[in-house]
Amino acid sequence: MRVVSMVPSWTETLLECGCEVVGRTRFCIHPERARDIPIVGGTKSIDWDKVEALHADLLLLDREENTRSMSVESPIEVFATHVTSVDDLAGELERLSIRLAQPELRELAGRWAQVAARPDGTLA
């Protein structure tokens, strides 16, 4: 699935898990290979013509990072996460893994769930 990620932390996570990120914000600079992905805007604005030209399947947003108008105006399907703490991350990774059919994201969700469950926040 071809994803436009408008969330820098998600862009990095998706790339590390082998997802096909075809568009990004100008703030999505990690890992280094992200810099080869076309920029379609910032976290608060987006060029819809550029998004459409990429023939992307999904626009990835986060409710804490992006504007509601980006979701409403999107010409492609939107997947919006809502991560406000480490406690939210495992669940959002799981939802995203299901939507993208990406087992690496599911594995990462399991590891984050372990971190969130431990009192000291570390893996066993």
| Long-range contact set of residues 103-108: C-beta below 8 Å, sequence gap at least 24 | 104/16, 104/17, 104/18, 105/13, 105/14, 105/17, 105/19, 108/13, 108/17
Which domains, and CATH codes, for the chain? 2-84 (3.40.50.1980)
Which pTM value belongs to this model?
0.91
Instruction: Answer with the residue of higher pLDDT: 116 or 69.
Output: 69
- Token look-up 């819809």 returns 48
Say yes or no to pLDDT of 49 above 80.
Answer: yes
Number of H helices, E strands in the chain: 5, 5
